[in-house]
Amino acid sequence: MAKKSKRSSPVIRIIVYSPLVLLILVAIYLAVSKDMYIGQQPKVLNCGTRIFMSMFDCSLTPAAKDAWPSTTSYATSTAFFSNLVTKGYLKPDFTVFAAPGIKPYTGSNAAQFRAENNAWCVVADLTGQSPDRMPVLITCNMQATNLATLQGLISDTLSDGPPFGHDNVLVVCKGGMAMNAKGVMDWSAILDGKAFTNRILRP
């Protein structure tokens, strides 16, 4: 009498292996998504540098007062950036303010540019005498509203929100230096050990 094969049926094998295959596919998806997410950071940092250069160019004109926002003139970074574009110091392409998780505004009407389209905070009340190491632009996943509170570990000052959550924060300083600040670890290294009390205008 022929011996019956003990091999499992294809249906049973599919049922057994499906959870494992699903886990592998999820792991691959998450790895690819994180690589794409990390890959966006240089692009966003380049956009931050472009925004800063438009502010710097403005500072060299007779309208230099428009270059650095003051707390008496602006309540948000979105309002300041809208003015920067309206005055012609930055090409009217509002997508430069977008980032992962921050919806780009693809129009050209400054009145339609909203906080939800803006990934950047801007430090207020800078002057020509402000040190080159002072931050000017910081991505909005940093939670502070004043430079005075940026102390200790950088990771402790970050939120879970976009554009980079606790993974990183991007900073452009007054001297033009742009950086992925998470690798610096501590705010004192960026602020050069100095204490500042400038307000940070959030989107």
Q: Does residue 26 fall inside a structural domain?
A: no
CA–CA dist 59, 55 (Å, integer): 6
Give the pLDDT score at 87.
87
Is 145 within a domain? yes
Segments forming the whole domain that contains residue 86: 40-201
95-114 pLDDT, tens per residue?
999 999 999 999 989 999 99
pLDDT in the model for residue 29: 35
What total of structural domains would you count in the chain? 1
Q: Under a CB-based contact definition with an 8 Å cutoff, are residues 121 and 158 in contact? A: no
120 located within any domain: yes
Taken in order 192, 193, 194, 195, the sign of the CA dihedral is positive
User: Along the chain (203 residues), what's the average pLDDT of each consecutive run of 10 residues?
Assistant: 54 53 43 50 95 90 84 96 90 90 93 96 91 94 95 91 93 93 81 89 98
Q: Which residues contact 128 (CB under 8 A, 6 or more apart)?
A: 59
User: pTM score, two decimals?
Assistant: 0.81
pLDDT of 3 reads 52
Determine, yes or no, domain membership for 3.
Answer: no
Residue 57 located in a structural domain: yes
The reply to whether 2 falls in a domain is: no
pLDDT score for 171 = 96
In a domain, 20, yes or no: no
- Dist. CA 95–CA 27, nearest whole Å: 31
Query: Does 152 reside within a domain?
Result: yes
Give the tens place of pLDDT for each residue, 6-34. 555 655 555 555 555 555 444 443 333 44
Strand pairing category for 178-180 and 135-139? unpaired
73 residue type, one letter:
S
Whether residue 77 contacts residue 121, with contact meaning beta carbons closer than 8 Å, is answered with yes
Per residue in 123-155, is it b (16+ CB within 10 Å) or e — as a string? bbbbeeebeebbbbbbbbbbbbeebeebeeebe
Residue 33 has a pLDDT of 40
Q: Is the distance from CB of 67 to CB of 193 less than 8 angstroms?
A: no
